[in-house]
Amino acid sequence: MKKTLLLLAHPNLDESIVNRTLIKKLTPFTSENLIIRNISECCIDNYFNIANEQFHLSNSERVIFQFPLYWYSYPAILKKWIDEVFLPGFAYGRKGEQLGTKLIGKQFSIIVSIGGTEQMHTPGGVVGVSINELLRNFQTTIEYVGGIYTYPFFIYGSAFIKEQAQLDDIFKDYQKYIFSEYIPKEKQYKKLIELAYEKKAKGYY
């Protein structure tokens, strides 16, 4: 697997069932290729060690942000982290050689626990907006700094998940997602073309 940095952004992990359980079950699998960092614990006296945070980013091929959906967005601690760590000259540049920054070509993805059901976040549902639409600004940020925004992993109905069997099932998919390799879009398209010829499909789809 790619060298992966999982950044947990949860303002109150002790009261979480889903995120706390997933991180606890994942911890034994940490290695030089999988590093877990709880950014709430990294914020000391309301400050991040910027050099340390940037070091971990620079030495990772894939970065996963894990967080609960807070009022249709991500928690304030993650916004603070982005504001303070994604600095000019590191995450983006304005002129000259500074345009070659440290995040270009890295893969970024998100794992989001959502209290409501998937149906709530569809047209006609209570919220009426999909999670991808709600977090479009996150995708835009990643693409602006030259990162590759890959498919997300959503955990719907987290407010109603209580049973251990439910958590075990979620962990299987969660673990598989973390350890799976992302297939670039051009390779996905090539695979579709090959499939079309194999099945002798006609037209566009």
What per-residue confidence (pLDDT) applies to 162? 84
For residue range 11-25, what is the model confidence (pLDDT) as tens digits? 889 989 999 999 999
Torsion of CA 67, 70, 73, 77, to 10 degrees: -60
Domain span holding position 71? 4-199
Question: Does 180 reside within a domain?
Answer: yes
Contacts of 47 (CB under 8 A, 6+ apart): none
Question: Does 205 reside within a domain?
Answer: no
What per-residue confidence (pLDDT) applies to 194? 77
Question: Does 44 reside within a domain?
Answer: yes
Long-range contacts of 146-149 (CB under 8 A, 24+ apart): 146/92, 146/101, 146/103, 146/104, 146/105, 146/106, 147/63, 147/103, 147/104, 147/105, 147/106, 147/107, 147/108, 148/105, 148/106, 148/107, 148/108, 148/182, 148/184, 149/108, 149/109
Number of domains present in the structure of the chain? 1
What per-residue confidence (pLDDT) applies to 94? 63
CATH of the domain at 74: 3.40.50.360
The token pair at 76 is 């304030």
What per-residue confidence (pLDDT) applies to 89? 87
Please tell me what DSSP assigns to residue 101: -
What per-residue confidence (pLDDT) applies to 168? 93
> Angle CA(118)–CA(122)–CA(125) in degrees, nearest 5?
90
Asked whether 156 and 118 are in contact (CB, 8 A), the reply is yes
What per-residue confidence (pLDDT) applies to 201? 58
- One digit per residue, the tens of pLDDT, for the chain of length 205 reads 899 999 999 988 998 999 999 999 999 999 999 999 999 999 999 999 999 999 999 999 999 999 999 999 999 999 999 999 999 889 987 654 555 688 999 999 999 999 999 999 998 899 999 999 999 999 999 999 999 999 999 999 998 998 999 999 999 999 999 999 888 878 877 877 777 777 665 555 4
Question: Does 58 reside within a domain?
Answer: yes
Question: Does 204 reside within a domain?
Answer: no
What's the chain's Rg over C-alpha atoms? 18
Neighbours of 114 (CB within 10 A): 21
